[in-house]
Amino acid sequence: MRELPHWHTASAQGPRDYNADAVAAYAAAGGRGIVFALADGVGDHPNAAQAARTAASAAARTPVEQGAVGAVLAAQRAVLALGGAGDCVLVVAVRTGDGYGIAWVGDARAYAWDGYTVRQVTKDHTLAQYFRDHEQPVTPRMEHVVTTSVRTAGAHEIGTATVTTGGLLLTSDGVHKTLSGPTMLDILGMPDRAATELVRTAISLGGSDNATAIVVDPPGAEVTTEKFRVAA
């Protein structure tokens, strides 16, 4: 099996009543890869937090052979099985070789990170992005209205992308809608504490949401974090 990457994560509740963000990562013993998942509950209530935790866990536990879209669909089945109305957005990264397959719904994001540059590879599923795509005026409120979610998305609506740089950044909107691209790039230059600093900086700059990040270091990065332990 290929050596698993160094990765680290951080999350903060911020000014919300609940932290409705969730992350999960899983590598099956003897398996061919690893799955990373970051979910962001829709709303500030316990059902949103439960949906996010359920989605992230189900996605991460999906066999890598099923791919990133398969992981999102597994998350959907798990959230629907909860009953109720709790919902979330989700981004998943599946590593099976030198790169990652990405799938997402909503406005959780993935960025390619090679140690020098960071590049957004997902496209927000929001009302604002829909209006931009159709060259229509956008209001600030539209940035927070998602057009797909784990509970509601059809398989054909799941976004997909590929990352081949070796490094990766996954964020909830509490990070990427608060921090500029140059600020995120500067912080990613702190390889052993980038996730913590991304979250801390987003909150300190007045972020009004939960803030969560997963940073997967590119090969060759100077890190002090422990390698991810293979699950039994």
CATH code of the domain containing 109: 3.60.40.10
pLDDT on residue 28 = 81
Residue-wise pLDDT tens digits, 134-187: 999 999 999 999 999 999 999 999 999 999 988 999 999 999 999 999 999 999
Q: What is the pTM of this model?
A: 0.92
Q: Tell me the residue type at 216.
A: V
Separation of alpha carbons 176 and 180, rounded Å:
7
Residue 110 lies in a domain: yes
Separation of alpha carbons 174 and 15, rounded Å:
11
Residue 226 lies in a domain: no
Q: Total domain count for the chain?
A: 1
Separation of alpha carbons 113 and 201, rounded Å:
19
Residue 228 lies in a domain: no
Residue 221 lies in a domain: no
Which residues have CB under 8 Å from 47's CB, separation 6+?
41, 84, 85, 86
* Residue 181 φ/ψ, nearest 5 degrees: -55, -50
Q: Which domain holds residue 43?
A: 7-216
